[in-house]
Structure 1
Amino acid sequence: MNLSEQLDNVAQMNPSKDAYIFQGQKVSYGEFNASVNHFASYLKSLSYEKGDHIALVCGNSPVFMIGFYGALRAGLTVIPINPTYTIAEMNYILKNGDVRAVITLDALMEKFEHMDHMLEVQRYFVADSSTGVDLTSSSLRDKMKSFTEVLEVGGKQAFSPPVLKEEEVAVILYTSGTTGKPKGAMLTHKNLYSNASDVGDYLQFSSSDQVVAALPMFHVFCLTVALNAPLMRGGTVLVIPKFSPQAVFSAVEKFHATVFAGVPTMYNYLLQAGKDRAGSFNTIRLCISGGSSMPVALLHHFEKQFNVRVSEGYGLSEASPVTAFNPLDKPRKPGSIGTNILNVENKVVDELGEEVPAGEVGELIVRGPNVMKGYYKMPEETAVSIRDNWLYTGDMARMDDEGYFYIVDRKKDMILVGGYNVYPREVEEVLYEHPDISEAAVVGSPDPEKGEVAVGFVVTSNSALSEEVLIDFCKEHLVKYKVPAKIEFMEELPKNTTGKILRKSLRDKLPHS
């Protein structure tokens, strides 16, 4: 069984049930499944074959959902990409990922016009973003197909899906690595199906659930928890194009939502904006938090204001992503990521890979049917991360006597900005590209809204260079959440005897750290 087959099963059993609601429009499972078939049929008519790579570059919308499930049904491997990425960030993934087709919006085609000559893309399936973009003079017009027209044409063709094997790669999720270049985590059909199924069981999803999808669908947290898991159970997905407290409150109230999933930053925004909306979450049975550790004070304040229970979990792209979650039938422990979910095992080990006693800190490792096949075209990195079928997360954790896990420290040097991973090396490489920068280092600084923000420390040869100029330079090359919130100028960066920059010394210079 895989995600596409399960969607078809649900549609056959209950075709009139609402699969999703987008901007007030309800779409049934029968209608959704038909659109998925139509897109898959069109891909097959263009001779795309099982295993070909297709990028999905758009926000939360029916286009994402139909594109994702349609490509899977046709046997293609999907590579979701953040549509707000810069040209440089997007270009790397498209090239490294050997992408042959792209699903995107007309408003983003200008980016692809800059990149296309470096890529192997044969077709762009373009959806209307209602922004009035005129593509008639685009240099890529011969490669473009209207997403709407594609569905119409695909609906007129007979289609029989290919046989998919569970070990075949369904999705490649690019996640930043310590080298500064993103790594493509290869998730198989088995990985995705098992995690969506186990999460659905663990969180007791049913056809009566109305799940708010306000997290970005290109991120694995939303993809599994707020999209795949509820769809597998015949639930309804409430699609929020872009997160805002007002959009969430409105959707929850209007459609009597039962489940909300978000990162701590979202909960903070909802708390601040919802002082007069205490009753808005009356229908919510479960609030899920992940992406980064939730401050216990925030958790308690949110629960008190909205009279709901917030349960934290843990996951990472390489594990599809969920490995642990606070159980619904046992006490929720604030600050804990919970216990093992179904069919997944977490363990805390020392540097030799030996399990440490309860209460002791070590590295968190996980294994189960959800663990990735490996990193795309990176066998050495794969061998480092997966050893004896265990995925080494790089996160330091401890386990208590009742099997609840606690993340003690995050991956070395990683910065978590609003739930997004930011690796200093990637930001530093951009700073080093500026002609006036001779040295650069980036660390995380606590932030009340985002959890953390990146702060850059630089040494410059130009005394006239300003913080504003450097931040603007970073904005040209990095997505918004990776851009340093502050730049500090120094005469020299602190180093040890071997010349390695001492990040701890830089963190000590920050306030409240």
Structure 2
Amino acid sequence: MLPASSAACVAWLAVLLAGQTPVMLNWTTGPRNLGHCLRLAGVRHILSARALLDRLEGSGLREAAGEAGAAWLPLEDTAASLSPCLRLEAACRALLSLAGLEGCAVPRKLSPPAAILFTSGSSAAPKGVPLSHDNILANCRDVAAILALDSHDAMLAMLPPFHTLGLTGNIVLPLCFGVPMVFHANPTEGARLDAVCRQWRPTLLVAAPTFLDGMLRQARPGDLASLRVAFVGAEACPQRLYDDFARLSGGGLLCE
């Protein structure tokens, strides 16, 4: 349970490399639905961050997880508890894998689902959806063919990994094609996302139209000038966004 961040990316990979199945949890779904998801997937540990848990204080999510038998593991505490020997072992395994000895870091058998995601639960209890590695990689190939990625690209990543577009577009796609990522944890903060664009000059953007609209409405001249392509999904994209993006990004392409 993490927002768009380098920590979410590393945690997802770490769970896979530990031979386990990552279950991506949605903190906006409410305590009842969260408890249902935890029981359905048999979750016993929730990797999260204190910054997120503090913001969720009073939402009932902590209590719902406890009732479902799941323990919270803030990554800040977990990292601090690692012994020097364990850190050295991890570093050695990473170096050996970089030298071509992948068997030192990669388990003999990865979890068949690359991740388990859940439906929103708006019409019934959320349903667990296992996504295979082939599922996600096929989507990455299709998106990459449209975006025409090159070595000069960098991506603004904002979507939460509990959403398939966030997991595929903001984590797996950049990792597979070596695209640097600039993360911002809250996709609803249009003005701050514009500031991130101005500072870090990303060329690619993957977003839901609602979040892109928030950026376009608050963008100042030059904020989005570095963007050459925006890829949107998850909902219908009105023509107005195409026009606004082309104008504010200096002629960039918006596709869905």
Task: Give the TM-score normalised by the residue count of structure 1.
Answer: 0.42
Letter in 2 for 1:267: L
1:97 and 2:97 matched: no
Which residue does 1:270 correspond to in 2?
215
Larger radius of gyration: 1
Identical aligned residues as a percent: 23
Distance 1:299 1:198, change over 3 A: closer
- Taking the aligned partners of 1:230 and 1:278, their CA distance within structure 2 comes to 28
Letter in 2 for 1:164: K
Shift of 1:92: 0.9
Map 1:25-424; keep pairs closer than 5 Å: 57-106=1-50, 108=53, 111=60, 113-121=62-70, 123-128=71-76, 146-150=77-81, 154-157=86-89, 160=104, 161-164=106-109, 168-176=112-120, 180-243=124-187, 244-274=189-219, 277-313=220-256
- Taking the aligned partners of 1:75 and 1:239, their CA distance within structure 2 comes to 26
Distance 1:302 1:190, change over 3 A: closer
Letter in 1 for 2:78: F
- Taking the aligned partners of 2:66 and 2:210, their CA distance within structure 1 comes to 39
CA contact (8 A) 2:158 2:185 kept: yes
- Taking the aligned partners of 1:204 and 1:191, their CA distance within structure 2 comes to 20
Higher relative contact order (CA 8 A, sep 6+): 2
Which structure shows the bigger proportion of residues in strand conformation?
A: 1
Shift of 1:83: 2.4
Q: Deviations over 1:136-155 (max 9, x none)?
A: xxxxxxxxxx2322556542
Shift of 1:69: 0.9
- Taking the aligned partners of 2:185 and 2:38, their CA distance within structure 1 comes to 24
Q: Which runs of 5+ in 1 are unaligned?
A: 1-56, 129-145, 314-513
CA contact (8 A) 1:205 1:229 kept: no
Q: Deviations over 1:284-333 (max 9, x none)?
A: 111112111111133223323433334332xxxxxxxxxxxxxxxxxxxx
CA contact (8 A) 2:3 2:159 kept: no
CA contact (8 A) 1:175 1:183 kept: yes
Q: Deviations over 1:110-145 (max 9, x none)?
A: 646523553343x532135xxxxxxxxxxxxxxxxx
DSSP-derived class of the 2:254 partner: strand
Q: Deviations over 1:449-488 (max 9, x none)?
A: xxxxxxxxxxxxxxxxxxxxxxxxxxxxxxxxxxxxxxxx
Question: When the two structures are aligned, how many residues end up with a matched partner?
Answer: 236
- Taking the aligned partners of 1:192 and 1:150, their CA distance within structure 2 comes to 33
Letter in 2 for 1:180: A
- Taking the aligned partners of 2:136 and 2:191, their CA distance within structure 1 comes to 31
Which residue does 2:97 correspond to in 1?
none
Letter in 2 for 1:260: L
CA contact (8 A) 2:2 2:160 kept: no
DSSP-derived class of the 1:238 partner: strand
DSSP-derived class of the 1:280 partner: coil
DSSP-derived class of the 1:80 partner: coil
- Taking the aligned partners of 1:67 and 1:125, their CA distance within structure 2 comes to 12
Letter in 1 for 2:75: A
- Taking the aligned partners of 2:79 and 2:130, their CA distance within structure 1 comes to 29
Map 1:454-469; keep pairs closer than 5 Å: none
Which structure shows the bigger proportion of residues in helix conformation?
A: 2
Letter in 2 for 1:251: V
- Taking the aligned partners of 2:241 and 2:6, their CA distance within structure 1 comes to 33
DSSP-derived class of the 2:19 partner: coil
Shift of 1:282: 2.0
- Taking the aligned partners of 1:196 and 1:206, their CA distance within structure 2 comes to 15
